[in-house]
Amino acid sequence: MFGALGRLVSRRPWWVIAGWIVTTVLLVLFAPSVDSTTDQADFLPDKYESIKATNLVSEAFPQQQDAGATIVFDRTDGEPLTDADVATAQQVVDELDLPEVFTGAEPIQVSPTKQVAIVNLTLAPDVTGQDPDEYNQVKDLRDGLSDGTKGTDLRAQTTGNLPQTYDQAESGSSAEAIVGAATVLLILLLLGIIFRSVLIALMPILAVGFILSPVSSALINIAAKLFDLQKDDSTTVILIVVLFGIGTDYILFFLFRYRERMREGEEHREAVAHALERAGEAIASAGAAVFVAFMTLVLSSLGIFRSIGPSLAIAVAVTLVAALTLFPALVTVLGRALFWPSKKWKEPSKGDRFARIGGSLGKHPVRYAVASGGALAVLTIFALGFNPTFDLGSSSSSSTVESAEATKTLEDGGFAAGSTQPMPVVLHSDDDLTQEQVDQFAAGLTKVDGIAQVIGAQLSPSNPSTAIVMTVLQDDPTSDAALVAVRDTIRPAIHDLAPDGSTAYVGGITSVFVDFQAAMNRDYSIVFPVAALIIMLILALLLRSLVAPVYLMISVGLGFGATLGASVIVFQHFAGHEGLVFLLPIYIYLFVVALGTDYNILMIARLREEAREGRAPRDAAAQAVRHAGPTVAAAGLILAGTFASLMLAGNSLLTQMGFAISFGIFVAAFVMAMFFTPALTALIGHAAWWPGHGDEKKPEAEAEKVL
């Protein structure tokens, strides 16, 4: 199959390139546009309590307006507010030309210490606060407040739903630019050093920028429309890294084999065909494993993962097809100019370093297996200390943005942190409720630990079987402390307080995240095992073995545990963080498990090839490390570097992700694939290939035919 594909691509390269160009143009012109959402409630099923509360409020209180922003006033000199200051603050609000997303301002509230005064701004009907056209109006609000407080002793800051979303989006935009630039520069630098070629360094950059990225984006939008998938802009940064990182990896898989054939004196087009024949199976199997790992996220109950999974899977599929068609076609067209300006590219590499490593591993596989496996196991122990944090407000943007500083000012000034986003509690009964029942229920809420204030209780004017009570949490609604309080204390207490025949539901962003955590725990128990089984099946089909896939997946599992353990050591123990972002394990799974399998596949495929040449297991392992080692090292270094660029984004979410994934890729390439997998294969020997025994030497006639 791959031999036929190699011959087709090498003989008709211009047809392949033209096909990609035409496809790109058509998709860009006719693909639908899809709106994104960052509202976590949109990603949860209706069965969860927070969503039930949201739906009841929408039906019974259509006029209910959420607080979209909170203006925080304090004095620039840090002194308590005077009556004149409060009057000035009220005047600033009254004269403010509110952006159209807001309908008005609630009465000004002064903290007991008089250090801070706040004003909540209500959202207009049908405003979700998640559309860029909506949250970008925060800039106009801030400009108006800046103008209004000029010449006074007051400072006005904004926080709450829209300001936090705006700051997160701005941080995300900066992250996208920083990560994109760092990724491009890193690929240019490393490919330039490895191949000393301008065109090879530019190839993945130009291909991703002008073809793979627009094709992937268009197909993602089409899939979102066809299958009603949520689209989350937070995946954009990750998509950039995936396209550049995986694309460069698969190019390297092909180019190293192509250069190897050229150095052996093979004719240019034959070398392209032969390289694709030999590397194609490994590239296709590696891409299939990554594709499956991403696609298993459709089994998730969470919309955020169901959107991330197919989006990244589509990007991988596009990259895989390009690696098997577009890139070999470009290499065919460029010919010897591909390696310009290097004049020594055809000189065979001495490979002394990897030859020495391979030779040592072949002689002492037990040492390498114990040392590499032991290191992974020790790090995995620390993974047991993983503490997830759901504090997305601080993890999705820098602590220096205005919304974060305003929240701190509000808390230091004597207000409960929950004042920015009051928490609705919904009471629902099959029969009509009385106002007396609602008032008694609200009075009971004032005694619940974790609730700082009850600020209103009312029956629905259109449906008296439903009532709403607005409360204020003691903690920041998106903080871990608030989540623990709602999950362990507030929800049970509120359920018990509901009058006979009625049910109480806790709504709001904190309740959403509590349900989010429960849904994630369910998903981990389903998605991970299913993905592992399917990847093992792919490995079994590739290797025609039932033994090798087992220890390959054990290797990858240790890589996952070691990566999470290293992250716990760095951030929880050394940096002093209370926990790691709750999404981290799923991203480690996505990239370390899937891409770690890539490197294992490349190494063991080469090991099998060497065994088929008649070499003993230890000699085959030594030769595999010698020949595949440079490819694995180069690919791992580039991919780890591209993910490490996420640490430049400026917020803890991407910093933790960048460290964890880059460390995991480094472990996958330089520990698992380079040492652990070949050492185990050398030790297990011929039995590793049971029952297919694909390591057996081919008959001479068949071998000559292949050559």
HSE-up of residue 256 (Cα within 13 Å, Cβ side): 25
Give the neighbor-by-neighbor strand order of the sheet with 502-506: 451-459, 466-473, 423-429, 502-506
Q: What is the pLDDT of residues 147-198, one digit of tens each?
A: 999 999 999 999 887 888 788 777 655 566 776 787 788 888 888 888 888 8
Q: What is the rounded distance in angstroms from the CA atom of residue 195 to the CA atom of residue 344? A: 10
pTM, 2 dp: 0.75
Q: What is the pLDDT of residue 541?
A: 85
Q: Which residue has the tokens 């871990």?
A: 480
Strands (DSSP E) contained in 548-597 are 580-581
Q: What is the rounded distance in angstroms from the CA atom of residue 137 to the CA atom of residue 482? A: 28
Q: What is the rounded distance in angstroms from the CA atom of residue 212 to the CA atom of residue 315? A: 8
Q: What is the rounded distance in angstroms from the CA atom of residue 255 to the CA atom of residue 328? A: 9
> Furthest-apart CA pair in the chain: how many Å?
98
Beta-carbon neighbour count of residue 352 at 10 Å? 9
Q: What is the pLDDT of residue 77?
A: 92
Note the helical H segments in 150-234.
161-195, 198-207, 213-227
- Spell out the long-range contacts of 257-264 with Cβ–Cβ below 8 A and sequence spacing 24 or more: 258/331, 259/345, 260/627, 262/346, 263/346, 263/347, 263/348
Per the CB < 8 A criterion, the answer to whether 590 and 305 are in contact is no
CA quadruple 479, 480, 484, 485: dihedral sign = negative
Beta-carbon neighbour count of residue 705 at 10 Å? 9
Q: What is the pLDDT of residue 396?
A: 45
Give the H or E element holding residue 427: strand 423-429
Beta-carbon neighbour count of residue 277 at 10 Å? 18
For 202-238, b where at least 16 C-beta lie within 10 A, e where not — what string? ebbbebbeebbbbbbbbbbbbbbeeeebbbbbbbbbb
Q: What is the rounded distance in angstroms from the CA atom of residue 53 to the CA atom of residue 73? A: 32
Radius of gyration of the chain (CA): 29
The closest alpha carbon to 582, from 240, 246, 305, 179, belongs to 305
Q: What is the pLDDT of residue 707?
A: 40
Which regions in the chain score pLDDT beneath 70?
34-43, 63-67, 125-132, 171-176, 179, 229-235, 237, 304, 348-351, 391-399, 649-651, 693-707
